[in-house]
Amino acid sequence: MNSDQNNFQLPARHDSEDAQIQPETEAQTVMGFLPPTGTIDADERIPIAREEGYDPLAIKLALERPASSAADKLRLFIFVIVAAALVFFLFPAGRFFKPASRDVGPMSIGGPVLKEALTAVNIRQKPWLKVLVEIDRLYFQEGKLTDAIRLAESELGKLTDKEWETWQKVFYRYWELLSDAGQVHVLRISTRAYLSDFPEDPFANYYFATAFLTTADRIHSFSPETKTAYRQEALRITRQIDRAARSLAARQQHPDTAKGESAVLIDLFQKLRLKQAGLYVLIWKLGGYKEDEHPEVVYTDKALDICESEVLSDIKEAKALKMTIFTHILDRWYWFEGRQVIQSRPKNRKDLQNQVETLAQELKDAQK
């Protein structure tokens, strides 16, 4: 019994020849082959728009470019100026394009003075020059630091007090050598004697403070009486440095000061202020790292104010000192404590941690 359900219905097979090709209609021909089109000039648009019934004013406004009046231009100019001012004040360049950190280094009169400087005129006008050339030859050329120091001491010991200022360059080099040699005690005695006659001398103040800070490194072994004596001496030195720095600033601002000399004075000013900031940190240490509303905090704030001043904000030594201060504060800041007052502003622990991380990254970038 054969049923239709059991019959397989195979698809019909058609040869390609059997397919009927429909002839192209007129519409298909038109759609497939559009004639090229062109643009309509403005003169041609006007009659067309009029035929379409557009309002004459609308046609005129559509075809004519509106002219800007003088008032419009003035308003646009004012808007641009106001926008630029807002960007300048709200988004200062220093926030995004900070200058690279730089190292000021120790105070110095510069590289070696060579024997070529010993002209007949220079020797007559600068009797100390021959000695300085010999000192620099021993130190810079032959590496004989001890011999250079001995020569300086021998020649400086022959001078009267009235000749000290004339021979100041030799004194400056002598103090540099003493600092390099680590002869802190001799450096302190020599600079103290010089300051008795020339209290605003920048080199004498700088190297006296250097010697004092070096001896204070043994703070952990100081008795309470010694700490008190050191605090008093440190305060005296900060006041003395302040007078010297003000003297440099006054000289730098004088209209007769040459551009090259002004740069030298700024460099000396920066180095003196850094020493002053270091002394304020020492006073804070000697007082036991007091915090919050304690009167001793004023010295921490003074040190931070110096480091953040315009002339020192991009100096590596200033950033390193700031990081030291913040690290000491964080080390004594327990997790359960609230905010602390730093530079007259309340800050939380996270703010300080972020600042330390930022400073560390900036110092790292400066080494590249």
pLDDT digits (tens, 9 = 90+) for 275-290: 999 999 999 988 766 6
pTM: 0.71
Q: Are residues 189 and 174 part of one domain? A: no
Tell me the pLDDT tens digit for each residue of 4-49.
Answer: 444 434 344 444 444 444 454 444 444 445 555 556 666 666 677 6
- pLDDT beyond 50 at 115: yes
Q: Are residues 121 and 171 part of one domain? A: yes
Q: Are residues 223 and 279 part of one domain? A: yes
User: Quick check: is 365 in a domain?
Assistant: yes
User: Quick check: is 143 in a domain?
Assistant: yes
User: Quick check: is 96 in a domain?
Assistant: no
User: Quick check: is 229 in a domain?
Assistant: yes
Residue type, 298: V
Last residue in a domain, options 246, 267, 288:
288
Q: Are residues 314 and 258 part of one domain? A: no
- pLDDT beyond 50 at 93: no
Q: Are residues 295 and 280 part of one domain? A: no
Nearest to 241 by CA among 273, 281, 194: 273
Tell me the pLDDT tens digit for each residue of 193-242.
Answer: 999 999 999 999 999 999 999 998 877 788 889 998 999 999 999 999 99
Q: Are residues 196 and 276 part of one domain? A: yes
Distance CA 346, CA 250 (A): 35
Count the domains in the chain: 3
Please give the pLDDT value at position 49.
Answer: 65
Tell me the pLDDT tens digit for each residue of 316-355.
Answer: 999 999 999 999 888 888 777 788 888 888 888 899 999 9
- C-alpha 211: how far from its chain's center? 28
Last residue in a domain, options 232, 256, 288:
288
Chain mean pLDDT for the chain: 82
Tell me the pLDDT tens digit for each residue of 46-57.
Answer: 677 666 666 676
Task: Quickly tell me which residue has 């590249």 as its tokens.
Answer: 368
- Domain holding 131, by residue range, is 110-178
Q: Are residues 302 and 266 part of one domain? A: no
Last residue in a domain, options 288, 317, 337:
288
